[in-house]
Chain A
């Protein structure tokens, strides 16, 4: 199947190095300490952060740092066919672990000992790149909750089909069987926290594809920074400053 046409257009009309339209909104859930909705094309994800709060399971309390928990679940209607088991299946548990460890690396947990920070992510619509959208939404939600972080973590995926590196794969491109590289970086510090890849890829092409994903992450980081600045301006305005 042809994923990149001879004119250089992908199935949804994008150029190979073009990302889908992203949209982020802070403060979606009133009851949460911090929350955000993040959309990457047709993938829609809502994240809520509760914490720092008292540890629910006393046995897991850590005396020198905060405990970070994460749960990823997909809505029944999020994919093309209705899902029977949206949580607790192996993929969801793996992604929960990945998101937890990615965010734990950048939260300054030593500032909040004996407490717990819960990150809950719910996928409302899935069209490829759910892992990345979840990490971006979690970053926004953590910033909204005022939890101290070392840097903004952003994530983006890239692939290699029809001998072309493609940025931000959607579901059809993802399930084509080609390699799928997901990268998560700390944007200002320029460090990689998450790197996942499957399927075979020669080393030099891998470097290209990874570089493309990193560029995508930096673009998302700029957007997230703008969203947070705008949010702060609104808060200032409401306070009457």
Chain B
């Protein structure tokens, strides 16, 4: 955060103190506690004071997303994995491959199964024993976007047409829920797919597919080696997303959990690298939006897609260097 933005944040806090009738006292600790109390008791006016100056409490301009990082290969026991952090929101995605018989309708295609979990670790609002409502909603959203985007060519997951194909089990775990969960989840899922190495397998005499370790052992049972070394998938039209909150005439990109709890109307736009719209999700909400607002959201997403593409490419390059 730059020096100038810290100044702005402090000046807004001083304005609020003045409004509340507090003087600029030397006892800044007490002054700060009053502002924090104001933030808890009257969250909406607190945010509105910031929105009037086109800034948010963490000094971000309205259309800017939080700092994003991606790390690949964090789970050694999985075939592909990635950890994505957008601000404090942390998502861990891992893919494990298993062999299955393909369905009769599509004998030359593999499958992807997406599961999203929100363990009680991630948020104080989650009670153990009962899965959060948000987890089920996000799971469906994630599955729909990944499958409909056509990012993974299911024919690449086929081993023996009609007999054996790969099933990619993608599990996304939320480790810290601080708003804009879908963006981080999609980013981690996409990164995990780009890190995925399909294990080397060969077919036994009795038709069973077995995993092959690094060295190829001459075995009477081994009939056909299906792929000698681990290969990666070719991904096309990788989707990236941005969630925005709509409030009166403001559009806030990449909200934190606090912002989401106050201003409920959210819009999630998913675009792929060629700028095509993959998914648009506005699940109701108190704010009714004009088409101009929706187009602004799409424009913000377009910018964000470029940023995310760079971040992912850097992560892949770092991985290759290792």
Contact = CB atoms under 8 A, between A and B. Distances in A.
Interface of A: 28-33, 35, 42, 46-48, 50, 53, 56, 69, 71, 73, 75-80, 82, 118, 120-122, 124-127
A52 to B, nearest CB: 12
Contacts of B171: 75-77
Closest 9 CB pairs of A and B: A77-B94, A30-B88, A48-B121, A76-B171, A71-B128, A120-B120, A77-B78, A82-B96, A120-B121
Contact of B124 (A28, A53, A69, A78): A53
Contacts of A32: 121, 124, 176
Contacts of A79: 77
A126 B124 CA distance: 25
Contacts of B178: 30-31
A31 B75 CA distance: 23
B113 to A, nearest CB: 10
Contact of B128 (A33, A120, A125, A127): A120
B165 interface: no
B124 A77 contact: no
B16 interface: no
A124 B92 contact: yes
A28 B178 CA distance: 13
B128 A31 contact: no
B98 interface: yes
Interface in B123-152: 123-124, 127-129
Interface residues of B, number: 31
A71 B81 CA distance: 25
Contacts of A75: 92, 94, 117, 171, 173
7 contacts: A28-B176, A48-B120, A48-B122, A77-B77, A80-B77, A82-B96, A125-B76
Given A76-B171, A82-B169, A125-B76, A29 B121 contact: yes
A29 B96 contact: no
A75 B81 CA distance: 13
Contacts of B119: 73, 120, 122
A125 B124 contact: no
A47 B120 CA distance: 10
Given A82-B169, A124-B75, A125-B75, A77 B96 contact: yes
Contact of A46 (B115, B121, B128): B121
B68 to A, nearest CB: 15
A31 B177 contact: yes
B100 interface: no
A122 B96 contact: no
B98 A46 contact: no
Contacts of A124: 75, 92, 173
Contacts of B94: 75-77
Interface in B74-133: 75-78, 81, 88, 90, 92, 94-96, 98, 115, 117, 119-124, 127-129
A121 B119 CA distance: 9
B122 A125 contact: no
A46 B175 contact: yes
B154 interface: no
Given A29-B90, A79-B77, A125-B77, 5 more contacts: A30-B178, A31-B88, A32-B121, A71-B129, A76-B171
Contacts of B75: 77-78, 124-125
Contact of A31 (B76, B117, B173, B176): B176
B257 interface: yes
A235 to B, nearest CB: 15
Given A77-B78, A125-B76, A50 B173 contact: no
Nearest to B88: A30
A122 B173 contact: yes
A14 to B, nearest CB: 18
A160 to B, nearest CB: 27
Nearest to B120: A120
Contact of B76 (A30, A42, A56): A42
A28 B175 contact: yes
Interface in B37-84: 75-78, 81
A28 B83 CA distance: 13
B139 to A, nearest CB: 13
Contact of B169 (A46, A48, A76): A76
Interface in B154-206: 169, 171, 173, 175-178
Of listed B123, B129, B175, B257, residue having the most chain A CB within 10 A: B175
A69 B128 CA distance: 10
A76 B257 contact: no
B77 A78 contact: yes
Contacts of A33: 124
A31 B257 contact: yes
Interface in B215-257: 257
Contacts of A35: 121
A118 B81 contact: no
B283 to A, nearest CB: 23
A38 B128 CA distance: 22
Contacts of A127: 77
B47 to A, nearest CB: 19
